[in-house]
Structure 1
């Protein structure tokens, strides 16, 4: 009987020690927890060169994504690049799947919908047509097929000129501008309405016989957009951008992508 009691006591002690070993954090555990970085999740359209796109090596790249990477490093955060459907950006922000939208995101007309950084770049919405198409002015778009990306700034800008849109033969919407430009190249449409900075980059890289009409649809500015009310993270990113403008980083990245300084912070 004494032997049985003694054995039971030994078993109880072993179980108690095992439980303590599982519940008491080690020094290594504490070190691991404290070295984990906060993430900075950037939502972007992966078909929007040169702001954000998939490079030939399959990696995400672009002017905006490079700026985001530098900001994340300066904030000591882990950058997570999250491709999104452009017309789902509000849902992605509201569900906290992303921290911001950073991808040629136009402030104009959306001032009260998101919490914004200051504008870091200027842009125009323009019409792109085939060279030699005979379309030289907005009046020449009468009875022509015009395409725009769904839920884009170009679509919003066209909403302000209903009289012009009424002259189009067809007014179409595409999921992305790569598809729209392919339709233009094939002759399926006559004009694409899009961001000038993207249009000129595409023309240069594709070597396509496209031209940008001189008459712009609308002038606008790009910013980094956050969920309305997320001023804390916005302020961190804004400060980093201002520091990058002051030390020449914004200019260096702009020269790499555009051959000139197109940034506007601190100007």
Structure 2
């Protein structure tokens, strides 16, 4: 009788020891995870601008710029945090340190002296779109017309200054703080045309199942970049430029852009592009 009892006692001890050992290992793994230092955060200011930055079905930021930034900063040893800002105030937010950089389909052309830049990481065309039945077919046909744009963008600058001989005198320019408001203004006939990045117009047409006609000749071809304050001495803009170039060469950028746009390689022809 003593034999079976002793065997039961030994098995019980082994069972308890096994549980304790597993618990210790689990605790060690948990402790090890907690002890891993978290990556420093880079705060990126942007606004809602599909397909570059918008809220996904889970409510989290997604889009071309979000994925590019997440990958690039991770390679650099940082984690990217996107915050929604009033795009008109981006320069002030960079200067006071509220954000580390501004990243949101941001055209570098004509702004080289206003920021420290990383990029260009993509090229994009600024275009004019009209209703399908519009009698506007060329840029010259915009003479005397009303046009809606987003405030502080390149199209606003083009139509306000009108230094390009291809740009005629228009009747009125409506600069909207919220980019998404320019499209209902066109659909309802409050303006005759809208001007924005071609990718943004195509995305809006797809999302809301509306049809616009994009004029054949673009307003401008621009390089897209990431803006840092002129007072920034971290050197992050130069490191980010190198990382984005690395991502283009290893195919990562094309893979990311291809999730959102057809013919992604056409947006990556930046090697010979000279920012103006």
TM (norm. structure 2) is 0.78
- The question of whether the paired residues in 1 share the 8 Å contact of 2:128 and 2:218 is answered with yes
Structure 1 gaps of 5+ residues are 1-30
Partners in 2 of 1:252 and 1:266 — Cα distance?
18
Partners in 1 of 2:186 and 2:43 — Cα distance?
34
1:157 counterpart SS class: helix
1:238 counterpart SS class: helix
Q: Does 1:263 align with 2:265?
A: no
User: Could you say which residue in structure 2 is the equivalent of 1:240?
Assistant: 243
Q: Does 1:74 align with 2:79?
A: no
- Match runs of 1:74-223 below 5 Å: 74-161=75-162, 167-223=169-225
Partners in 2 of 1:252 and 1:177 — Cα distance?
27
**1:265 Cα shift?**
5.0
Residues 136-191 of structure 1, C-alpha deviations (whole Å, 9 max, x = no match): 11232233221111111211222341577763222211112210001111111111
Partners in 2 of 1:72 and 1:192 — Cα distance?
34
Partners in 2 of 1:150 and 1:206 — Cα distance?
22
**1:130 Cα shift?**
0.6
Partners in 2 of 1:232 and 1:153 — Cα distance?
27
Partners in 2 of 1:187 and 1:57 — Cα distance?
34
Partners in 2 of 1:126 and 1:105 — Cα distance?
15
Q: Does 1:249 align with 2:252?
A: yes
Residues 166-219 of structure 1, C-alpha deviations (whole Å, 9 max, x = no match): 632222111122100011111111111111221222223332120111122122
- The question of whether the paired residues in 1 share the 8 Å contact of 2:106 and 2:225 is answered with yes
- The question of whether the paired residues in 1 share the 8 Å contact of 2:145 and 2:170 is answered with yes
Instruction: List 4+ stretches of structure 1 deviating above 6 A.
Output: 31-34, 163-166
Partners in 1 of 2:42 and 2:73 — Cα distance?
7
Residues 7-50 of structure 1, C-alpha deviations (whole Å, 9 max, x = no match): xxxxxxxxxxxxxxxxxxxxxxxx9798132111111112x111
* CA spacing shift, 1:266–1:221, aligned 2, 3 Å: closer
Partners in 2 of 1:164 and 1:149 — Cα distance?
21
* CA spacing shift, 1:185–1:57, aligned 2, 3 Å: farther
Structure 2 gaps of 5+ residues are 1-32
User: Could you say which residue in structure 1 is the equivalent of 2:6?
Assistant: none
Partners in 1 of 2:82 and 2:176 — Cα distance?
23
Partners in 1 of 2:44 and 2:269 — Cα distance?
21
Once superposed, what is the RMSD of the aligned Cα atoms? 2.2
- The question of whether the paired residues in 1 share the 8 Å contact of 2:162 and 2:169 is answered with no
Partners in 1 of 2:78 and 2:56 — Cα distance?
24
* CA spacing shift, 1:160–1:123, aligned 2, 3 Å: farther
Partners in 1 of 2:143 and 2:58 — Cα distance?
42
Matched pairs, number: 236
The range that moved more, 202-211 or 121-130, is 202-211
- The question of whether the paired residues in 1 share the 8 Å contact of 2:140 and 2:167 is answered with no
2:210 counterpart SS class: coil
